[in-house]
Each structure stands twice: as structure tokens, then as C-alpha cells.
Amino acid sequence: FFSVHGQVSYSIPEEMTKGSFVGNIAQDLGLDIKRLKSGKAHIYTGDSAEYIELNKERGVLLIKERIDREALCGETTPCALHHQIILENPLEFYSITIEITDINDNSPGFKKNEMKFEIIESSQPGARFVLDRAVDNDVGVNDLQSYTLKPTDNFILKSHILPDGSKNVEMVLQTPLDREKQEQISLILTAVDGGEPQLSGTMRIIITVLDANDNAPVCSQAVYKASVTENAPKGTIVATVSATDADQDSYGKVTYSISNIVEGEAELFEVNNDDGVVSLLGNIDYERMKKYQIDIQARDAGGLIDSCKVIVDVSDLNDNKPIINIMSKTNAILEDAVSGTVVTIINVQDSDSGANGKVECSINENIPFTIKSTSNHFYGLVTDSDLDRERASEYNISVMCSDEGVPSLSSSVTLTLQISDVNDNAPVFEMSSYEAYIIENNTPGLSIFTVKARDADWNQNARVSYILEDSSVNGVPVSSYVSVSADSGVIHAVRTFDYEHKKDFKFRVKAQDGGSPPLSSNVTVKIMIQDQNDNAPQVLYPVQTSSSLVAEMVPRSADVGYLVTKVVAVDVDSGQNAWLSYKLQKATDRALFEVGLQNGEIRTIRQVNDKDSVKQRLTVVVEDNGQPSRSATVNVNVAVADSFPEVLSEFTDFTHDKEYNDNLTFYLVLALAVVSFMFITCLMVIISVKIYRWRQSRILYHSNLPVIPYYPPRYADTLGTGTLQHVYNYEVCRTTDSRKSDCQFARPCSQNVLIMDPSSTGTMQRIQSEQNILDEPDSPIEYLPHHLCILERESSTQGAQSGLQGTLTP
């Protein structure tokens, strides 16, 4: 809150010229010239004229307009100007009093230049005649001091000091008059003041001597007192004066008139010539004049007079509203302003007096401001609680000032105050955390979703930018996964996501405003990648290769429901995209085998008989449940036989046919490419090259057979329906031309694959036995009731023997 920081007084004479020096205000108040400039120092004069101005460059007070003390204060002493100097940023308040001293610039003057009397010659010495008073607007020693009357043969002057301090001048008859000697007498009345130099004024008095009228009128009271309310209507009776005259006829009739009329009073009062009733002629204003003195003269027809006074006291009415003046006003204030910050300084004036002039000011309720009185007629509007622009960005403050009169009069003014924003609110996300979904195999740059934060501040302080906080996902910067738009908060995918590689990841986004310093908040975002059916099922068993042949062996004695093998497949997708179903697409004999829809087990659906072909080829389709679905196929070779020789002979032919067909296709494609190229060059070259290629192909055909290795995984019957309980090792030997084979039981082993290498030109060596299988023709042969993998090795030497070794496991 603010107070008067200092006060200073000066005294100057009136009528100083414009620009005259009054005082060094900066020095006297201890203020710096720079402070006067930065604080926008100015003089507040209220509603009065601006007589004084402030020179901020020099820090001095100068005369702005000529000062007439008499016009400014009249007869009031001392006469002073009460001004205030106000500085802003911060607000400072200084009081200045400038006393205006009087100079003798007004000479005494009479309202009339001439005054006439008719005096009867029989008037006795000592008769009094009231003269008009001179008026001198100066005060003190410069005011009217004395009167002189010349010549003084018949009259002398006497003055009386009245209760109100004024002087009443009377002319007293000193020697009797004689009309016969001198019918008319001329006198000069001089009024003199006490100034330096001394000034004076004169009035001529002409006296006409009449015949005798020996009784003068006599007023019933020397002083009449009356009171009248201001703003009383015209014609209101103020008082009634009366005088009596002992004479008769015309000499006994008294008439009344107002004498010694001060300027301005003639328009306010009048007296009835016959009955002495004093009434209002104009409008009386208490604030202009609080008391009036009226001189009433009673005169008879013979010229004899008497005088009395009517003193009129004016009663105040509450007829003036308080006047509100805004001395200094702040249009905007920061919302973080401390309690007690001064917003506006107000000056309130009420011209009425007493209770009618006492003013109380108040403001509207439920706002964070209050109004306090600092000194007489000054009020300060200050904050009394914390401000919040987000709650209210503008206040319309109504200041109402009421006096204590009956009825009370009031005035009001409305101040508009803007609350300037301070960056006191951090951005707030609409959600405490976010979860978003994106389907895998997206295109880079795809918009995933948008995070949104709001800031309750205004303008730059509410401008939100979005920043991706540094973090990593499995050691990889999160910026290589997603990006965020700084302006909109849209999150984009930077890369293509793969559900099978990463199912979800988290990161944090920071929302930062544009304030200084900036405020921020962050939120956790979880991106969940949704699976897409983008992976076909993968068959794990049986393994399919282009250079090997796998066969499952089924004995002809197998019953219905015999478990041949089990197709094992997986799908790296998830959910229903990974639900697999198995179907038998093609089969050599569809009436012999079936595939389990859910487990992929291949079982017999009838009793195997001798008519069934040894070689059975099944094509199984593995299909997932995605939309659209994906599938994979697997070929399962089944050998229906009770002995190895039968199995080997059948599948050897199959191998030879497969190799021949593969080689033939290769050479046909190669020949077609060569022929096309050579045809362009020249026909003879094509023929030569074709013969050469043909010869080369024949040589390759007779000399090279590919090796087809295969190593299947161990098969386990999870349902316990398999027929093999142990692992066995078999040796099979045959000649080139023979279709019969012998199998020799060797030992248990952990392998279940019979491998034949057709590319070898020598004999196979047995792994576990040094004896040739032909040396033991009587060795017992044990047939395998379960599946068998067979590979063939064919010797290029006529009559050579081949060794075949294999192992089998359930």
C-alpha cells in the first residue's frame, strides 16, 4: 500500500510572471532527475486551474499561469495551493503546499462615485449619516486602513468596528446647518490602505440642506439575524426590518432601501420600500458564500435616516455529489503481483460541509481488490489476494463514493483492469497415459495417433510443443521407431514394425510451453503392435529337401488307426492367425489314410492288404486361421511293406526316375537358351554348338549322379500308439542287378535314417562291422514295423557290392 513519501511548502507573491521560479522540487524532496523522468512525474491539481507546472528536465516548479490572489482566495487567509506530485513504477505520492502572499495591487474603491444626502437644517449636532464603505480586495496591511473627509467645517468622520470585524463609516454633524447660508455642501471622502506604496480611493458627497424635520427614523433593532437554506426558491422571505418616525405626515413616513451593496449581493436580495421585508432575489449557494451582511437604511420624507444590519446565515444542503478524480491508473497488472500492490489512486471531493461532505468509497464484492483511504480525500485501490488470469483475465471494478447527507448522494466510476499472464501453468495431457495400436507391416511415416496437451496460460505461454524424450528400446534409440510432430503432437512410425520381432514398446513424450522459463510435463505412451497374418505355416516334420527322399514304413499287418507319422508345423503369427488345421489334399489311395484336423497325425482308416501299392504318396495341406488364410503343403512318402528289399527296390526306381527327369528338364532349358542365342549369330555356329552341347550332355549323363543326403529329426509318438519301442541299426547289402536285399541286425542306435549315396563309385563301408554282409548270408533279417528313410548308392562297377547302413527310431 502507498503513503505520502514527503511534503514541501513554498511561499510566493501573487502576480508573478509566467515561467517564474517557484522552487527546486527535486532538491527539496531528495529526488533524482532521472527518477522524475522514468516515473512520469506529474502534478495533480484536482479540478482547479493549473497555475504551477513541473519542469522534469531541471526538477523545478515554475509559474504556468499568472496568479491573482484575490480571484483565487478572496478574503480567505492564508491563501495556498495544495497540489500533489505523483510518480509511477513504483507509485510515489508527494504533497506540495504553495502559499500565495498578497501584494498591494488593489486600491480602495467605492461602488458609487457620488453620494447625495438631503439634510434638514434643523438637524442637531451629533446627527449621524451612514456612508458607503470602500472596498479593497487586498488583505492584511494592504487592506483598507482609514478614511478622511474634507472639508470638516460641518461634519466629521467616525468609524465603528462591527462584530464581524468590518468598519462602519458614519458622517457626524458637528455644527448646525443653515440653509439660508449654504443650501448645498460638497465633501470628498477618501479611503486609504496601508500598502507600499499607499493607494487610495475617493467618493464625492453632495449635501442638500432642507427645511427642518426634527425627528429622524429609529430602527427597532440595530442588527437582525436570519438564516436561509441554500437553493431556497426566489421570493423566500429572509427577514423584516422596521423603523419608526415621531414626525407626522410626510416627515413621519419611513421608506427602506439597501445600502452598502457588495458586488454580487444586489442580485441576491431585495427589500420592500414600504414594509421593510427582505426577500431572495437570486439563488444562494452555500459553497460560494456561507454568510451575507445587508445594510438597510430607513429614511423619512424629511431626509432623516437610520440604519440597521441584517446578517443572513446560509444553511448547507446536501446538493453536491462527490466528484471522483482518477489521479493515476494502471491498465494492466501481472497475475503474480503481491497482495497490496497499488493499482489506482483516486481523489474524491465533496463541496458540501459537515456530514454532507463526508465521503466513504467502496467497490463491488467478490473481487481480489480493496479500497483504502490514504489521507484526506485520497483513496488507493490495491490487491488484497492472489490473482489468477486463468480464472479471470479482466476485472471491471466499480468504485462508488457516497456522502453522509440525507438523502445520501453518490457518484461512481468503472475501472477496467487487465490481468497480464505469467507462465504459471504447465501443459497438461488429456490422459495420464496413452495406449495406441498399429498393425504390423505398416509403411514408414504412417500416423499412429495424436497426443494432446493443453496449457491454461495465454498467448506464447500457452503455445505447446511436443518433444520425444531420449530413451532406448532394447538398446536402440526410440527415435528410430517413432517421431512426434512438435506442433500437432501427431506420432508417426519411422520404421516398419514386425509383430514377431517386437510386440510392444514404451516411450515418453514431453509437452513444453513457450514461456520463459518454459514449463513442461510428460506422459508415457505405449505402442502395441497388432499381428497380421503375414507368415505362412512352417512344416518342421517331415523335412522337405530337393535332394533326399523320406519314407514312412507301414507293415501290411497294420490295423485300423495305425499311426503312420505326424506332420509337425508351426506359425510364428499369434492368435487365430496361428491356429493350424491339417487336411489331406492328395493321396495315392485316399481310402487308406486320413489326417487329424487339429494334430496332423496320419493314421490308417482301414486294414492294409496285399493289393495296396508299396509306394504311397500323401500331400498334406497345413492352413492357418487368418484372414486371408495362408497355407503350406508337405509331401509324405509312405512305404507299405513288411521287408526292406521290397522297400528298397521300389524307392530306388523312384530315385532313378526323379534324377532322370530333373536332368532332362535342366538340359532342355539350357539347350533352348543356347539355340536362341546362337540363332542370332549364325546358323552354322548354332549347329556346331548344338552338337558340342549334345556330346557334353551325354557324357555328363553317364558319369554323374547327385548325392541326396537326409537327416530327419527324431520322431516321438506323443499319444503312445507307435509300434517301435527301441532304436535299431540295420545293414543292407545288394548287387547292382539284384532286386533282393538282405538286412542284418547290428545293434541299437540313435539314428532312424537309411541313407544311400548314388554318387559314390565304390563300396560303402560299414560303420559298426568290419565284415562284409555277403560273408554272413544266414544272418537273420528283422523288419521294421515303423517308418524308414532310404537313400540309394549305386556302384558304377559291374557286379560290385554296395554297403547300406541306416538307423531307425520311433
pLDDT in tens, 124-146: 888 888 888 888 888 888 888 88
| pLDDT given at position 164 | 66
Task: Identify the weakest region by mean pLDDT among 83-92, 209-218, 747-756.
Answer: 747-756
pLDDT in tens, 394-445: 999 999 999 988 889 999 999 999 999 999 999 999 999 999 999 999 999 9
Q: Does residue 651 sit in helix, strand or coil?
A: helix
Number of alpha carbons in the 13 Å side-chain half-sphere of residue 747? 6
Could you tell me which residue, 771 or 611, shows the higher pLDDT? Answer: 611
Q: Does domain 109-210 have CATH number 2.60.40.60?
A: yes
Mean pLDDT of 202-219: 84
pLDDT band at 518 (very low <50, low <70, confident <90, very high): very high
The cell for 727 is 532304436
Omega before 407 cis (within 30°)? yes
**6-101 against 538-648: fold identical:** yes
Q: What is the pLDDT of residue 806?
A: 33
The CATH topology of domain 218-315 is Immunoglobulin-like (2.60.40)
Q: How many CA atoms lie within 13 A of 658 on its CB side?
A: 16
- What confidence tens digit (pLDDT) does each residue in 305-315 have? 888 999 999 98
pLDDT above 80 (res 773): no
Per-residue model confidence (pLDDT) at position 730: 39
In the predicted model, what is the mean pLDDT of the chain? Answer: 80
The number of residues making up the chain comes to: 810
> Cα dihedral sign for 210, 213, 214, 217?
negative
How confident is the model at residue 165, as a pLDDT?
65
The CATH number that domain 6-101 falls under is 2.60.40.60
Question: Can you list the positions of beta strands (E) in 260-350?
Answer: 269-271, 277-280, 291-300, 305-315, 323-329, 332-334, 342-349
DSSP states of 57-97 as a string?
TTTEEEE-S---HHHHHTT-SSEEEEEEEEETTTTEEEEEE
How do residues 85-99 score in pLDDT, each as one tens digit? 888 888 888 889 999
pLDDT digits (tens, 9 = 90+) for 618-629: 999 999 998 888
Residue 479 has a pLDDT of: 93
Task: Determine the Cα–Cα distance for residues 242 and 250; give it in Å rounded to an integer.
Answer: 17
The helices-and-strands tally (H runs, E runs) of the chain is 5, 54
Classify residue 575 by its DSSP letter: G
Strands 92-101 and 4-13, bridge-based pairing: parallel
Q: Which residues contact 692 (CB under 8 A, 6 or more apart)?
A: none
pLDDT at 413: 93
Q: Return the SS3 of 316.
A: coil
% of residues, the chain, pLDDT over 90: 33
For residues 464-489, average pLDDT: 93
**Residues 5 and 93: beta-carbon distance below 8 Å:** yes
- Identify residue 165 by its one-letter amino acid code: G
| CA distance linking residue 258 with residue 262, whole number of Å | 10
Task: Give residue 700's pLDDT band: very low, low, confident or very high (50, 70, 90).
Answer: low
- Helices 683-703 and 644-681 cross at an angle (nearest 10°) of 160
Among the ranges given (37-41, 132-136, 799-803), the one the predictor scored with the smallest mean pLDDT: 799-803
Fold classification of 428-530 (topology level): Immunoglobulin-like (2.60.40)
pLDDT tens profile 249-269: 777 889 999 887 666 666 788
pTM to 2 decimals? 0.53
Residue 146 near residue 189 (C-beta atoms within 8 A): no
Range 361-390 average pLDDT: 89
Inform me whether the pLDDT recorded for 767 exceeds 60. Answer: no
CATH of domain 538-648: 2.60.40.60
In the three-class reduction of DSSP (H, G, I as helix; E, B as strand; rest coil), residue 662 is classed as helix
Give whole-number Cα distances, 790 to 458, 617, 705, 706, 747, in Å.
83, 15, 16, 15, 18
Helix (H, G, I), strand (E, B) or coil at 611: coil
- Mean pLDDT to the nearest integer, 330-352: 89
pLDDT score of 782: 34
- Containing H/E element for 361? strand 359-363
pLDDT of 702: 53
For the 323-420 domain, the top CATH level (class) is mainly beta
pLDDT of 783 above 70: no
Reported confidence tier of residue 304, pLDDT bands at 50, 70, 90 = confident
Q: Is 232 exposed, middle or buried (0-12, 13-18, 19+ CB in 10 A)?
A: middle
Say whether pLDDT at 63 is over 60: yes
List all residues 6 or more positions away from 720 whose beta carbon is below 8 Å from its beta carbon. Answer: none
The helix (H) or strand (E) run that includes residue 513 is strand 504-513
Domain ranges within the chain, ordered by starting residue: 6-101, 109-210, 218-315, 323-420, 428-530, 538-648
Which of these, 60, 61, 37, lies nearest to 50 by C-alpha position?
A: 61
- Cell of residue 282, nine digits: 437570486
Instruction: Report the distance separating Cα 757 and Cα 791, nearest Å.
Output: 6
The model's confidence at residue 45, banded by pLDDT at 50, 70 and 90, is confident
Question: What would the DSSP string read from start to end of 33-64?
Answer: HHHHHHTT-EEE-TTS---EEEETTTTEEEE-
Residue 396 in 3-state DSSP? strand
What order do you get walking across the sheet with 490-493 strand by strand?
Answer: 447-450, 490-493, 482-484
User: Is 41:54 a contact under the CB 8 Å cutoff?
Assistant: yes
Which residues are bridge partners to 394 per DSSP?
418
> Is residue 269 helix, strand or coil?
strand
Rounded to an integer, what distance in angstroms lies between the CA atom of residue 440 and that of residue 682? 55
β-bridge mates for residue 753, sequence order: 789
